[in-house]
A and B are shown apart, each in its own frame.
Chain A
Amino acid sequence: MPAILLRRLAYFVATLLVASLVIFVVLDLLPGNAAAILLGTSARPDTIAALQQQLGLDQPAWWRYLSWIRGLFTGDLGRSLTYGVPVSGLMAERLVVTIPLALLALLVAVGAGVPMGVWAAARWRKLPDHAASVVAQMGIAIPDFWLGILLILFFSTGLNWFSAGGFPGWGQPLAALKALVLPALALGLPQAAILVRVTRASVLDVASQDFVRTAEAKGLPARQVLWRHTVRNALLPVVTIVGLQFSFLIAGAVLVENVFDLPGIGLLAYQALSQRDLVTIRSVTLFFAGLVIIVNFLVDLSYLWLDPRLRARG
C-alpha cells in the first residue's frame, strides 16, 4: 500500500516538474529576449541591458528556472511586465473571482445534471429518458461562451434582470454574487449535460447488477431500491467526473470571463497574452496545468481508496 502511494506521488511530482519545464522552455527560452520584446525594435541596447538586469534575464537559464520554481513556494513569481506589480498578488486578486465562479458553476452542473441523469435512468427508454438525452446532446454541442452571450441577450438586454457584465468586488457581497449568476449558468449548464450522460450510464450500469435484483426481489419499494441501493453506488464515477470538471471549469473561465468582462484569472491569461506579458503568462499557465495535474492525482488517490482491487494490482 505505501509503495503504490509513493509511486503515484512520484508520478505526480514528475508530471508537475515536466509541465513546468515545458512552460519555461516555451515562454522563457524559446522567445529569446523578453526585455527586447517588451521595449520594441527601436530600443537602445543599453536600455535593453538595463531592463534585462532588472528582470534577472542576465542570469543563466537554469538559474532563472530554479528561482521561478522557488518562487512558487515563497510566493515570489516575479513582477508582471505590463502592470509592474508582483504576479502572485495579481493572480490572488483574480482567483477570488474565478474560484467562486467555478464553484458556483459546479453547483449548477451537479444540481442540474445528477438529478436529471437519475431521472432519465429511472424512466429508461421512456419519455423522460429521451428528453434527457436530447437535452444532454444539445448541452454538449452548445459552446459555453455562446450560452453566456444568449443569457446576456435574454436576461440583461431583454429583461434587464442582470447587468451584462463587470464585477463590483466582494465589498458588496450580494451584488458580487449576482454578477456571477449568469456566468456560472453559462459555464455550468454544458457541464451539466455531460453529467446527465455519466449519471444515467452509471445508474443503468449499477441497476443491472445482482444486488439490485436482490433488493427488488425481496420486495423493497422501487423508490428505495433506486435511491438507497442504486444511486448511492452509481455516484462513484460521477464524483470522479465532477472532480475533473472542476479543472475544466477553471480553464473554461478564460472564455466566459471574457464574455462577462469578469476580472478573473481567465481574463488575466487573455490580457497577459495580448500584452505579451510572458512573466505573467508563465505562472498563469502553470496554475492551469498544475490544477489539472493535482485534480488528476486526487482522483487517482480516490480510486485507490474506493477500489481495493487497484491497490493490490499496483
Chain B
Amino acid sequence: MTTQPRRRRFFGPFPRLYLGAAITLAVVALAIVSRFWTPHSPTRLRVPLRLKPPLEAGLAGTDAFGRDIFSQLMMGAWNSLSIAVLAVVLGVVVGVALGTLAAAWRGRWVEEVVMRFCDVVFSFPALISAIMIAALVGSGAATAIVAIGLFNVPVFARVANGMAQPVWEQAYCLAARAAGKGRLRITLDHVLPNIAGGITVQATIQTGLAILVEAGLSFLGLSLAPPAPSWGRMLSDAQTYLGQAPWMAIAPGLAVAIAVLGFNLLGDGLRDKLDPGSEARA
C-alpha cells in the first residue's frame, strides 16, 4: 500500500490531462461550429419527421416537433458553455479579489468581513439563489449566470485566500514589503502571478460543475428562454415522450455528462501537472 509501482501510461505522463483536454476541445469546437453551421436547423419544425430515432433522421434523431436533436445539442453546447464560463468568470473576478484582499490584510477586519460574507453566500445553493433571483426579476440567461456566479464567489475567495497566505510568507514578499511596496502592489505583482495556476485548475473544475448546475436550472426553466436550445430543457421536454422516444432523454444528458467529464478530467490533469504530489490527495 505504501510502495509506488510505476503507473501505466496510456496517454503519456498525464493521461487525465490529455483525455480531458481532448474531450473539452471537442465540446468547445462543436459549440463554436454551431455558430456558423449545424447539420440541420435546430429550431425549424418538421412535423413529418417528428420523433424519428437516431440515424433515421439526423445523427441523434428528432424531437416531438421534428427538430434535429444533434443540431440542438450543438447549439445547446454553445449556450451551456457560455453561461457556465461567464458564471465562473464572475466567480473568479469577485472571489479572487476578495480572497487576495483578505490575505493581504490578514488578521484585520477585512479578512473577517470577507470570510463571514463568504459564509452567508455559501449557504445559498445555486439552485436556491436562482429561485430567489427568478422570483425577483424572472428567469433567463442572466439569472442563471448570476446565481451560478454568486455560488462560485465564496469558492474562489476561499481558494485564493488559502493559496495567497503562504505566498505572503515567502522571502520575496517580505523583501517587497521591506522595500516599501504597498499591500495592493504586492498582491498584483507577486501574489496573483503565484496563485494563477491554482486558480486556473479550480476554474476548470468549477466550469464543469457550472455546466451541471446550468443543466439543472434550464431543466426547471430558470435559464435561457425558449426557443434557444438548451440541454436542460431538452431533457425536460423529453420526459413527456419517454415511452415513444427514449433517445430524446438520452442524448442531452449524455452531452452534459461528457462536457462535465471533460472539464473535470482537464482540471484534475492540470493539477497533476502543476503539483505532482497531489494525485494521492485528490
Q: Measuring CB to CB, which residues of chain A are less than 8 angstroms from any residue of chain B?
A: 11, 14-15, 18-19, 22-23, 26-27, 30-31, 121-122, 124-125, 137-138, 140-143, 145-146, 149-150, 152-153, 157, 164, 197, 201, 204-205, 207-208, 213, 247-248, 251-252, 254-255, 258-259, 269-270, 273, 276, 278, 281, 285, 288-290, 292-293, 296
When the two chains form their complex, are residues B124 and A289 in contact, meaning their CB atoms are under 8 A apart? yes
With A31-B135, A142-B257, A143-B216 in contact, is A204–B280 under 8 Å at CB? yes
B132 within 8 A of A: yes
Distance from B217 Cβ to chain A, minimum over Cβ atoms (Å): 9
Distance from A159 Cβ to chain B, minimum over Cβ atoms (Å): 13
When the two chains form their complex, are residues A145 and B2 in contact, meaning their CB atoms are under 8 A apart? no
B87 within 8 A of A: no
Question: Can you spell out 9 A-B residue pairs with CB atoms less than 8 angstroms apart?
Answer: A15-B120, A31-B135, A138-B261, A146-B235, A149-B238, A149-B239, A149-B242, A273-B131, A273-B135
When the two chains form their complex, are residues B253 and A149 in contact, meaning their CB atoms are under 8 A apart? yes
When the two chains form their complex, are residues B134 and A273 in contact, meaning their CB atoms are under 8 A apart? yes
B175 neighbours in A (Cβ, 8 Å): none
A208 neighbours in B (Cβ, 8 Å): 2, 280
Interface mask (B244-282 → A, CB under 8 Å = 1, otherwise 0): 001001101100111011001100000000000000111
Q: Of the candidates B2, B127, B249, which one forms a contact with A213 in the assembled complex, judged by CB atoms under 8 Å apart?
A: B2
Instruction: A219 to B219: give the CA distance in the assembly, Å.
Output: 56
B5 neighbours in A (Cβ, 8 Å): 125
With A125-B5, A149-B238, A207-B2 in contact, is A258–B264 under 8 Å at CB? no
When the two chains form their complex, are residues B257 and A146 in contact, meaning their CB atoms are under 8 A apart? yes
When the two chains form their complex, are residues B125 and A23 in contact, meaning their CB atoms are under 8 A apart? no
B243 within 8 A of A: yes
When the two chains form their complex, are residues A142 and B128 in contact, meaning their CB atoms are under 8 A apart? no
B122 within 8 A of A: yes
A205 neighbours in B (Cβ, 8 Å): 280-281
When the two chains form their complex, are residues B132 and A27 in contact, meaning their CB atoms are under 8 A apart? yes
When the two chains form their complex, are residues B123 and A293 in contact, meaning their CB atoms are under 8 A apart? yes
When the two chains form their complex, are residues A276 and B220 in contact, meaning their CB atoms are under 8 A apart? no
When the two chains form their complex, are residues B127 and A255 in contact, meaning their CB atoms are under 8 A apart? yes
In the complex, chain B residues 1-32 whose Cβ is within 8 Å of any chain A Cβ: 1-2, 4-5, 7
A259 neighbours in B (Cβ, 8 Å): 239
In the complex, chain B residues 130-151 whose Cβ is within 8 Å of any chain A Cβ: 131-136
With CB as the reference atom, state the residue of chain B lying closest to A295.
Answer: B123
A149 neighbours in B (Cβ, 8 Å): 235, 238-239, 242, 249, 253
Q: Of the candidates B124, B134, B216, B250, which one forms a contact with A145 in the assembled complex, judged by CB atoms under 8 Å apart?
A: B216
Top 7 A-B residue pairs of the complex, sorted by shortest distance between their CB atoms: A146-B253, A141-B260, A141-B261, A251-B125, A292-B123, A289-B123, A141-B257
B119 within 8 A of A: yes
When the two chains form their complex, are residues B280 and A201 in contact, meaning their CB atoms are under 8 A apart? yes
Distance from B38 Cβ to chain A, minimum over Cβ atoms (Å): 23
When the two chains form their complex, are residues A285 and B127 in contact, meaning their CB atoms are under 8 A apart? no
B181 within 8 A of A: no
Instruction: A205 to B133: give the CA distance in the assembly, Å.
Output: 42
A247 neighbours in B (Cβ, 8 Å): 125
B132 neighbours in A (Cβ, 8 Å): 23, 26-27, 281, 285
What would 18 more interface pairs be, CB under 8 Å, given A124-B1, A141-B258, A251-B128? Answer: A19-B124, A26-B132, A30-B136, A31-B135, A125-B5, A138-B257, A141-B260, A143-B253, A146-B257, A153-B246, A201-B282, A205-B281, A208-B280, A213-B2, A251-B125, A254-B127, A255-B216, A285-B131
When the two chains form their complex, are residues A258 and B220 in contact, meaning their CB atoms are under 8 A apart? yes
B92 within 8 A of A: no
When the two chains form their complex, are residues B215 and A143 in contact, meaning their CB atoms are under 8 A apart? yes
With CB as the reference atom, state the residue of chain A lying closest to B16.
Answer: A137
Q: Of the candidates B116, B125, B212, B265, which one forms a contact with A288 in the assembled complex, judged by CB atoms under 8 Å apart?
A: B125
B122 neighbours in A (Cβ, 8 Å): 292, 296
Distance from A300 Cβ to chain B, minimum over Cβ atoms (Å): 10
Instruction: A208 to B1: give the CA distance in the assembly, Å.
Output: 8
B95 within 8 A of A: no
With CB as the reference atom, state the residue of chain B lying closest to A30.
Answer: B136
Q: Of the candidates B116, B242, B258, B264, which one forms a contact with A152 in the assembled complex, judged by CB atoms under 8 Å apart?
A: B242
When the two chains form their complex, are residues A281 and B253 in contact, meaning their CB atoms are under 8 A apart? no
Distance from B51 Cβ to chain A, minimum over Cβ atoms (Å): 15
B208 within 8 A of A: yes
Which of A140, A247, A293 is the most central at the interface, judged by chain B CB atoms within 10 Å of its CB? Answer: A140
A276 neighbours in B (Cβ, 8 Å): 135
A140 neighbours in B (Cβ, 8 Å): 260, 264
When the two chains form their complex, are residues B128 and A289 in contact, meaning their CB atoms are under 8 A apart? yes
In the complex, chain B residues 178-202 whose Cβ is within 8 Å of any chain A Cβ: none
When the two chains form their complex, are residues A157 and B243 in contact, meaning their CB atoms are under 8 A apart? yes
Q: Of the candidates B120, B127, B239, which one forms a contact with A18 in the assembled complex, judged by CB atoms under 8 Å apart?
A: B120
When the two chains form their complex, are residues A292 and B253 in contact, meaning their CB atoms are under 8 A apart? no
B212 neighbours in A (Cβ, 8 Å): 141, 143
Distance from B228 Cβ to chain A, minimum over Cβ atoms (Å): 19
B123 neighbours in A (Cβ, 8 Å): 15, 19, 289-290, 292-293, 296
Instruction: A251 to B213: give the CA distance in the assembly, Å.
Output: 12
Instruction: A146 to B118: give the CA distance in the assembly, Å.
Output: 30
Distance from B238 Cβ to chain A, minimum over Cβ atoms (Å): 7
Distance from A258 Cβ to chain B, minimum over Cβ atoms (Å): 7
When the two chains form their complex, are residues B242 and A122 in contact, meaning their CB atoms are under 8 A apart? no
With CB as the reference atom, state the residue of chain B lying closest to A130.
Answer: B8
B219 neighbours in A (Cβ, 8 Å): 145, 255, 258
With CB as the reference atom, state the residue of chain A lying closest to B246.
Answer: A153
With A14-B116, A288-B125, A288-B128 in contact, is A142–B253 under 8 Å at CB? yes
